[in-house]
């Protein structure tokens, strides 16, 4: 029974076309989540559409548009078991158009597999994804150096890719013991579950052994419930079912839940995860829960469920520490990009730049540019839940996006409630 094992959420990230979805498909196949006949059907259909090499990706890419374009658009959830853990795997889009969905995926994960092709090595998106993962609270990583079959399983290509990715992870703040490197061929299924003679020079773990090396995150069950909503469904015969990941606290049937910023209250009738009924949900659980007294349109993605006596904080303004990663010009007061935090995406305005650190020194605080760190006061343009990162880390971390790229990342250090 899956749920008897400790549960972990893992996101698969990386540059577009480095083989993320194929890797996830292979993991699902090698852990017995898909019957062989279904895979044969995918192979046949993919071949007929001229996308023969994509058949494993179709395990995750359920959307018709994704199959035709050959890219992952939304975040998909699937489960699989290893010897040690019961994983929920989140396949996050790599294509730059879809980074906002990748942020939602990464914000729900405890650990990540970074897929990096041994052919091209790390690319722009690889860097952006690793940076975002770190900002969103992921501090354990397995780097799957993929497409080893395309480089004839050459050790020097693996070593070269490892060196390039290590530079990146160190720069971003990962410690050496938080990152594992594993050579794989997702397409051929090499070194996913079993060792292979073609990688006889590698004496490290298989990919499944590497993910079993992850440490379980702390479960802050002593804090009040915080449950950011990812989607809301209306299911015939059941009713309204919000879906999301419990960040802190415990969710139980019979509990009254308050949702902000929609300001709605409802009673939890039942909770399930991967179609199994749960007696309670704890931090890390991605769950659907049926609510009495709630319509499908009463709440939406970006709302946060909390106890009625300790509701989530809706911010009038908040003070944040921000690092500017990549802005083409300068950030000044009045700048209003989109802030991505947990499952919320809200335009927020820079109201005051209180402090700027440039090159290790404090400078005049009139503007910020690439490479600067600073303390800023932010005003959401519409109601948004923000908590101090010290109290509820997942609700106080954010990425700032503009012009199709991540321009900055930050954490909320103080919140003025509405």
Residue with tokens 């879906």: 243
Confidence label for 108 from pLDDT (cuts 50, 70 and 90) = low
Helix (H) / strand (E) element for 407: namely: strand 405-417
Q: Domain boundary at 164, 183, 212, which?
A: 212
Whether 20 and 119 map to the same domain: the answer is yes
Q: How much is the pLDDT for 185?
A: 94
List, for residues 310-339, the tens digit of each pLDDT value.
999 999 999 998 888 789 999 999 999 999
Confidence label for 75 from pLDDT (cuts 50, 70 and 90) = very low
3-state DSSP: the chain helix, strand, coil percent, rounded to 5?
25, 35, 40
Its pTM stands at: 0.65
Q: Which of 121, 123, 130 is nearest to 171 (CA)?
A: 130
Examine residue 261 and say whether the peptide bond preceding it is cis (omega within 30 degrees of 0): yes
Q: How much is the pLDDT for 59?
A: 54
Whether 325 and 302 map to the same domain: the answer is no
Whether 267 and 337 map to the same domain: the answer is no
Whether 57 and 188 map to the same domain: the answer is yes
Whether 261 and 362 map to the same domain: the answer is no
State how far the Cα of 16 lies from the Cα of 123, in Å rounded to an integer: 9
Q: How much is the pLDDT for 309?
A: 96
List, for residues 185-198, the tens digit of each pLDDT value.
998 899 999 999 99
Confidence label for 202 from pLDDT (cuts 50, 70 and 90) = very high
Q: Domain boundary at 212, 242, 271, which?
A: 212
The whole-number average pLDDT for the span 62-77 is 46
Whether 37 and 164 map to the same domain: the answer is yes
The yes-or-no verdict on residue 302 having pLDDT over 90 is: yes
Whether 50 and 95 map to the same domain: the answer is yes
Q: Beta strands 141-146 and 179-183: pairing type?
A: parallel
The whole-number average pLDDT for the span 26-48 is 73
The yes-or-no verdict on residue 227 having pLDDT over 90 is: yes
Is 263 within the bounds of a domain?
Answer: yes
Give CA separation, 125 vs 70, 129, 339, 388, 405, in Å: 17, 6, 19, 29, 10
Q: Beta strands 7-14 and 86-91: pairing type?
A: parallel
Q: How much is the pLDDT for 53?
A: 57
Question: Mean pLDDT lowest for which of 48-62, 158-172, 226-240, 253-267?
Answer: 48-62
Residue, of 80 and 98, whose pLDDT is higher: 80
Whether 106 and 247 map to the same domain: the answer is no
The yes-or-no verdict on residue 110 having pLDDT over 90 is: no
The whole-number average pLDDT for the span 271-300 is 89
Whether 50 and 165 map to the same domain: the answer is yes
State how far the Cα of 210 lies from the Cα of 107, in Å rounded to an integer: 21
The yes-or-no verdict on residue 147 having pLDDT over 70 is: yes
Helix (H) / strand (E) element for 339: namely: strand 338-341
Q: How much is the pLDDT for 217?
A: 81
Residue pair 315/348 in contact (Cβ under 8 Å)? The answer is no
The whole-number average pLDDT for the span 89-117 is 66
Q: Domain boundary at 263, 288, 307, which?
A: 307
The yes-or-no verdict on residue 77 having pLDDT over 70 is: no
Whether 56 and 18 map to the same domain: the answer is yes
Is 345 within the bounds of a domain?
Answer: yes
Is 266 within the bounds of a domain?
Answer: yes
Confidence label for 72 from pLDDT (cuts 50, 70 and 90) = very low
Q: How much is the pLDDT for 125?
A: 77
Is 127 within the bounds of a domain?
Answer: yes
**How high does pLDDT run on average in the chain?**
85
The yes-or-no verdict on residue 76 having pLDDT over 60 is: no
Whether 109 and 145 map to the same domain: the answer is yes
Confidence label for 66 from pLDDT (cuts 50, 70 and 90) = very low
- Report the CATH number that the domain containing residue 41 is assigned in CATH: 3.40.50.300
Q: How much is the pLDDT for 180?
A: 97
Is 222 within the bounds of a domain?
Answer: no
List, for residues 348-395, the tens digit of each pLDDT value.
999 999 999 887 789 988 999 988 889 999 999 999 999 998 899 889
Is 221 within the bounds of a domain?
Answer: no
Q: How much is the pLDDT for 260?
A: 97
Q: How much is the pLDDT for 42?
A: 67
Structure tokens at 110: 């405890």
Is 338 within the bounds of a domain?
Answer: yes
The yes-or-no verdict on residue 2 having pLDDT over 50 is: no
The yes-or-no verdict on residue 222 having pLDDT over 80 is: yes
Is 218 within the bounds of a domain?
Answer: no
DSSP 288-316: EEEEET--TTTS-TT-EEEETTSPPPBEE
Structure tokens at 70: 């050959």
Sheet with strand 111-117: strands edge to edge: 76-81, 86-91, 7-14, 111-117, 141-146, 179-183
Confidence label for 32 from pLDDT (cuts 50, 70 and 90) = confident
Cα atoms found within 13 Å of the Cα of residue 265, Cβ hemisphere only: 8
Whether 117 and 236 map to the same domain: the answer is no
Count of structural domains, the chain: 3
Instruction: Say which DSSP state 78 is in.
Output: E
The residue segments making up the domain with residue 231 are: 227-307
Q: How much is the pLDDT for 94?
A: 46
- Report the CATH number that the domain containing residue 255 is assigned in CATH: 2.40.30.10
């Amino acid at each position: 029974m899956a749920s008897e094992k400790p549960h972990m959420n893992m996101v698969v990230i990386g540059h577009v076309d480095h083989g993320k979805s194929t890797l996830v498909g292979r993991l699902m196949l090698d852990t017995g989540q898909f019957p062989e006949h279904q895979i044969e059907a995918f192979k046949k259909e993919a071949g007929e559409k001229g996308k023969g090499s994509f058949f494993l990706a179709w395990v995750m890419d359920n959307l018709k548009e994704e199959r035709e374009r050959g890219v992952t658009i939304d975040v998909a959830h699937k489960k699989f078991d290893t010897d040690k853990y019961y994983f929920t795997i989140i396949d996050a889009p790599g294509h730059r158009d879809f980074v906002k969905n990748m942020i939602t995926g990464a914000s729900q994960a405890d650990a990540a597999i970074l897929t990096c092709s041994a052919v091209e090595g790390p690319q722009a998106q690889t860097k952006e994804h690793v940076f975002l993962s770190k900002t969103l609270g992921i501090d354990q990583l397995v780097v799957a150096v993929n497409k080893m079959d395309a480089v004839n399983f050459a050790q020097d290509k693996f070593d070269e890719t490892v060196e390039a990715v290590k530079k990146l992870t160190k720069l971003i703040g990962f410690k050496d013991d938080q990152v594992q490197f594993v050579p794989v061929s997702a397409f051929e299924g090499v070194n996913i579950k079993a060792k292979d003679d073609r990688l006889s020079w590698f004496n490290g773990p298989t990919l499944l052994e590497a993910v079993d090396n992850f440490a379980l995150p702390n479960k802050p069950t002593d804090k009040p419930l915080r449950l950011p909503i990812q989607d809301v469904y209306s299911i015939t015969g059941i009713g309204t079912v919000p879906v999301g990941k419990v960040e802190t606290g415990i969710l139980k049937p019979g509990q009254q839940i308050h949702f902000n910023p929609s300001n709605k209250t409802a009673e939890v009738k039942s909770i399930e995860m991967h179609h199994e009924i749960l007696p309670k949900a704890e931090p890390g659980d991605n769950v659907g829960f049926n609510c009495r007294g709630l319509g499908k349109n009463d709440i939406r993605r970006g709302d946060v469920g909390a106890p009625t006596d300790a509701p989530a904080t809706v911010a009038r303004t908040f003070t944040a520490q921000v690092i500017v990663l990549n802005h083409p010009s300068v950030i000044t007061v009045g700048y209003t990009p989109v802030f991505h935090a947990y499952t919320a995406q809200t335009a927020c305005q820079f109201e005051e730049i209180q402090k700027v650190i440039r090159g290790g020194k404090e400078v005049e605080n009139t503007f910020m540019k690439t490479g600067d760190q600073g303390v800023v006061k932010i005003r959401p343009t519409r109601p948004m839940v923000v908590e101090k990162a010290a109290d509820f880390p997942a609700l106080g971390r954010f990425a700032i996006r503009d012009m199709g790229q991540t321009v900055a990342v930050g954490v909320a250090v103080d919140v003025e409630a509405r």
